[in-house]
Amino acid sequence: MKKLFLLTLLCSSYSTLAVDVIVNPANNSALDENEIKQIFIGKAKSFSDGSKALPITQVDGSSVTDEFNEKVLNKSSSQLKAYWSKLVFTGKGTPPKEAADDAEVIKLVASNPNLIGFVSSGAADGSVKVVKSF
């Protein structure tokens, strides 16, 4: 019984950071997990309504970026770097632009209806719309 309790405690504390995917409030596209993933890995270039989709990430190594990469993209930071290096080298893609932190992502997404980004859960304010939480 003691082992089960410790295992439960360990698993519950392993990943406590939640991530919110945000868009501009003018964006009325419905987005599921797969569509979000496709946009962030460069395989989808537009939202469901046909408007251009431009992903913005946060700096590599930040906890929210690591959490997003793991939960949504199912890739580690090094796997993602290798993925983008290959696409850039072959001329088949460019990685998303990076923002410094939650505040910068919110500011950029609020000012451009084509942007989609992610922030720490609870960081979004009324200037953006949360479309999915992970």
Residue type, 38: Q
Residue type, 82: A
Q: What residues are paired with 99 via a beta bridge?
A: 58
- The phi, psi pair for 7, rounded to 5°, reads -65, -45
Q: What tokens appear for 38 in the block? A: 């496709």
Q: What tokens appear for 7 in the block? A: 């295992």
Q: Tens of pLDDT along 65-87?
A: 999 999 999 999 999 999 999 99
Matching residue, tokens 């859960």: 121
**pLDDT tens, N- to C-terminus, the chain (134 residues):** 544 444 444 444 455 789 999 999 999 998 999 999 999 999 999 999 999 999 999 999 999 999 999 999 999 999 999 999 999 999 999 999 999 999 999 999 999 999 999 999 999 999 999 999 99
Contact 59, 99 (CB under 8 A): yes
Residue among 96, 72, 78, 55 at smallest CA distance from 17: 72
